[in-house]
A and B are shown apart, each in its own frame.
Chain A
Amino acid sequence: MADLSVRIGNLLLKNPVMTASGTFGYGVEYADFIDLSRLGGIIVKGTTMAPREGNPYPRMAETPMGMLNAVGIQNKGARYFAEKIYPTIKDIDTNMIVNVSGSDIDSYVAAAGVIDELDRIPAIELNISCPNVRQGGMAFGVSAKAAAEVVEAVRKAYRKTLIVKLSPNVTDIVSIAKAVEDAGADSVSLINTLLGMAVNAETRKPILSTVTGGMSGPAVKPVALRMVWQVAQAVKIPVVGLGGIMTATDAVEFLLAGATAVEIGTANFVDPTVSVKVVDGIADYLQRHDMKSVNEIIGGLET
């Protein structure tokens, strides 16, 4: 069988398939359906320093070939994670990665610091798409300067692999990716959800309690693929690609566009076993194309 392993900074993945934050809980929610150790990694729920109740219900709307969510990073906080949840997931035989969020630089740094202490968490994924409370709610991820500032600060506090997750709600994602690379990120992952909205015409009301929300699923794939391709060409650090991946073929497309690894999000809701199917499908693809390693297809797009 072809070698599926890939490297992101110092992080070795047994295969390039991870599950996306906010769509796979802490992994254990899917343990009845799949062997979690077959995954390259599991990126757990968004975690903040202080506990968050999240947004009011309704938080979800289905849209053509996709969905909107407005969960609002509901979580019990980094300390609760470290004390109560970490012990129950630390022995899962895959890379357990924590998605870290904050509302200002201090809270990002504090949360990353708490996670840094946990031996079996080899990496964090820094979600810079959250609103920056000090800068009037504008997301850190929409300005190269703010993105670099938060990444630089977290880099000082966090010693292991630092993946920075980029927002697609920007005019020039390449400049943000470069700023984040310069600030010390080991990798960038993209895309987070696209800002969208859904209306119920009959009631004349928005469907989400927050009016707008984050769009994900197959509908966003072309945008994600384009951004991954642009960023992969511009940075030297490995890129993790996601957005609308439903099948192994979708995953291979991201790898060809330059992603070193991929994440599966919304697809888990449709088929709880999809992530391992994607692993098997990538292996089949390599065999069919007579390739020895998945590294042979990364960035292999022939333009």
Chain B
Amino acid sequence: MQQIMKKHVCDLTVAEAVWLHERCILLKLTRDEVLPPMKAGQFAEVRIDDTPGVLLRRPISIHRVVREKNELWLLVQTVGRGTQRLAMLQNGDVLNVMLPLGNGFTLPESPCRTLLVGGGVGVAPLLQLGVELRALGMRPTFLLGARTANDVLQMREFGQVGEVCVTTEDGSMGESGFVTQHSLLKRKDTFDRIYCCGPKPMMMAVARYAHEHEVWCEVSLENRMACGLGACLCCVEKTKEGHRCVCTDGPVFNICDLTWPI
């Protein structure tokens, strides 16, 4: 059973906004009061203010919670008006968030070999996951996929938590190709658990690999949402038990529960 955490809607202040590349920004948010409990794989629904044409909140993963500094980090890639507005935030600006939402990743009961695969901005939830695995005495391996070296996000942060392997589509960093082509996955001796977040085709490829090699695997989905609370039923994914809400029953699903053609 997932532990249910109380949800909050609150204002956070931007302590720092760092451009990681021309389409990705790291927001470090804080407030005077201690941040509520939250965990890896959960997300926030962020209100987008003063943006014509944008009404609904935008779901953004919890990238990292730094308790010592009372900071919540979000990693945002600009794809449309909402995320572009988020990228305009500056130090001292206020952001209204609803959190923590969703189930989060399932942490192992006992230490095992974990592989955390991320593509593009899908690497976001994997940093906090890595930190939580680390706290349980594991040293996770990250496999990060990007188009070019410029798009590889938070290398240093990931490097502090575990081993980092990279693939880029143009070969400008790490091995060239897609994550599923990395030599790491060709080794006989593989991993006990794979956690994955990224573009759907990438997650499908990773799920297929995990399925073929009979490795336990969880993926984090990014279905379009309206309420984020399990109230509207807009975000559903077809699972073996019928339609389930990605915002409350997910965003993290075990690939065994999905109906993906793998």
Residues of A participating in the B interface, judged by any CB pair closer than 8 Å: 22-25, 29-30, 32-33, 45, 53-54, 56-62, 64-67, 69, 71, 74, 217-218, 266, 268-273
The dominant DSSP class at the A interface is loop
A1 to B226, CA, bound (A): 35
Q: Which residues of B contact A30 (CB under 8 A)?
A: 229, 231
Q: How distant is the Cα of A18 from the Cα of B235 in the complex, in angstroms?
A: 24
Q: Which residues of B contact A71 (CB under 8 A)?
A: 232-234
- Against A, the Cβ 8 Å flags (1 = close, 0 = not) of B158-189 are 00000000000000000000000000000000
Q: How far is the CA of A79 from the CA of B28 in the complex (A)?
A: 48
Complex interface: stretch among B50-58, B127-135, B149-157, B204-212: B50-58
> What is the chain A residue whose CB lies nearest that of B7?
A32
Of the candidates B8, B56, B228, B237, the one whose C-beta lies within 8 Å of that of A62 is: B56
- How distant is A276 from chain B, measured CB to nearest CB, in Å? 12
Please name all residues of chain A whose beta carbon is closer than 8 Å to the beta carbon of B225 when the two chains form the complex. 60
Which chain B residues have a beta carbon within 8 Å of chain A's beta carbons? 6-9, 47, 52-57, 98, 223-238, 242-243
Dominant SS at the B interface?
Answer: loop
With both chains docked as a complex, state the minimum distance between the C-beta of B230 and any C-beta of chain A, in angstroms: 5
CB neighbours of B238 from chain A (8 A): 56-57
Residue in A67, A272, A273 whose beta carbon sits within 8 Å of that of B56 in the complex:
A67
Contact partners of B236 in chain A: CB under 8 A: 54, 57, 59, 74
Docked-complex contact B233 and A59, CB < 8 angstroms: yes
Is there contact, CB below 8 Å, between A58 and B224? yes
Residue in B47, B57, B242 whose CB lies within 8 Å of A53 = B242
Which residues does chain B contribute within 8 Å of A29, judged by CB atoms?
227, 229-231
Q: A32-B8, A33-B9, A67-B226 are in contact. Are A54 and B233 (CB under 8 A)?
A: yes
Known: A58-B224, A66-B55, A67-B55. A272 touches B229 (CB 8 A): yes
Question: Whose C-beta in chain B lies nearest to the C-beta of A54?
Answer: B243
Chain B proximity of A279: nearest CB distance (Å): 17
Q: In the complex the two chains form, what is the Cα distance from A214 to B57 in whole Å?
A: 19
A71 to B245, CA, bound (A): 12
Give Cα A272–Cα B6 distance, bound, in whole angstroms. Answer: 14
- 18 A-B pairs, CB-CB below 8 angstroms? A23-B232, A25-B231, A30-B231, A57-B236, A59-B233, A60-B224, A60-B232, A60-B235, A65-B55, A66-B55, A67-B55, A69-B226, A74-B243, A266-B226, A269-B57, A270-B55, A272-B9, A273-B9
Asked if A25 and B229 make an inter-chain contact with CB atoms under 8 angstroms apart, the answer reads: yes
Report Cα–Cα, A58/B237, bound state, in Å.
9
Residues of B within 8 A of A273 (CB): 9
Contact of A270 with B47 at beta-carbon distance under 8 Å, contacts A60-B224, A69-B226 already known: yes
| Chain B residue nearest in CB terms to A31 | B7
When A53-B242, A272-B98 are in contact, do A218 and B55 touch as well, CB less than 8 Å?
A: yes
Q: Which of B226, B230, B242 contacts A60 (CB 8 A)?
A: B226
User: In the complex, A22 Cα to B226 Cα: how many Å?
Assistant: 11
Task: Please determine whether B55 and A59 come into contact, CB atoms closer than 8 angstroms.
Answer: no
State the Cβ distance, B205 to closest chain A Cβ, in Å: 20
A60-B224, A67-B56, A270-B55 known; A24 vs B231 contact (CB < 8 Å): yes
B260 → A minimal CB distance (Å):
13
Given the complex, which residues of A lie within 8 Å of B228, measured CB to CB? 269
A60 to B231, CA, bound (A): 13
Residues of B within 8 A of A53 (CB): 242-243
From B6, B9, B227, give the contact of A23 (CB < 8 A).
B227
Instruction: Contacts A59-B236, A269-B57, A272-B9 given; indicate if A25 touches B230 (C-beta within 8 A).
Output: yes
Instruction: Tell me how far the C-beta of B228 lies from the nearest C-beta in chain A, rounded to whole angstroms.
Output: 8
Contact B223 A57 (CB under 8 A): yes
Residues in A with CB closer than 8 Å to B229 are 25, 29-30, 272
**When the two chains form the complex, which single residue of A23, A218, A270 contacts B57, counting CB atoms closer than 8 Å?**
A270
Contact, CB under 8 Å: A270 / B56: yes
Contact A57 B237 (CB under 8 A): yes
- Asked whether B6 lies within 8 Å of A32 as measured between CB atoms, the reply is yes
Name the A residues within 8 Å of B231 (CB-CB). 23-25, 29-30, 268
In the complex, which residue of chain B has the Cβ closest to the Cβ of A66? B55
* Additional 12 contacts, C-beta under 8 A, given A54-B243, A266-B55, A272-B98: A25-B229, A32-B8, A54-B233, A57-B236, A60-B226, A60-B232, A61-B224, A62-B54, A66-B55, A71-B232, A266-B226, A272-B229
